[in-house]
């Protein structure tokens, strides 16, 4: 559904080395210009790890019930 709204990459995984490598490959060497995080915690940390220098993080929820990373 998010891709149909214009998202290029959707993260739905735990913060593991394999997930970080797959995400880095998906967003490319420049990183993501914007990261939307509704989950926080471990999965949010994974998403935010892909943020480009000067990129915009949008944290708007904590579905994991863990604090934002």
Residue 62, token pair as written in the block: 């904590």
Distance of alpha carbon 44 from alpha carbon 64, whole angstroms: 9
Supply the pTM of this predicted model.
Answer: 0.72
Per-residue model confidence as pLDDT tens digits over 45-55: 888 889 999 99
Q: Provide, rounded to the nearest whole percent, the portion of the chain with pLDDT above 90.
A: 22
What is the SS3 string spanning 21-56? HHHHHHHCCCCEEEEEECCCHHHHHHHHCCEEEEEE
pLDDT of 14 over the 80 cut:
no
pLDDT of residue 69: 66
pLDDT of residue 42: 79
Distance of alpha carbon 37 from alpha carbon 59, whole angstroms: 5
């Amino acid at each position: 559904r998010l891709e149909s709204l214009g998202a290029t990459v959707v993260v739905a995984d735990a913060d593991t080395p394999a997930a970080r490598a797959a995400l880095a490959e998906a967003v490319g060497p420049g990183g993501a210009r914007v990261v939307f995080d509704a989950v926080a915690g471990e999965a949010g940390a994974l998403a935010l790890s892909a943020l480009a220098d000067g990129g915009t993080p949008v944290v708007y929820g904590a579905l994991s019930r863990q604090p934002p990373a």
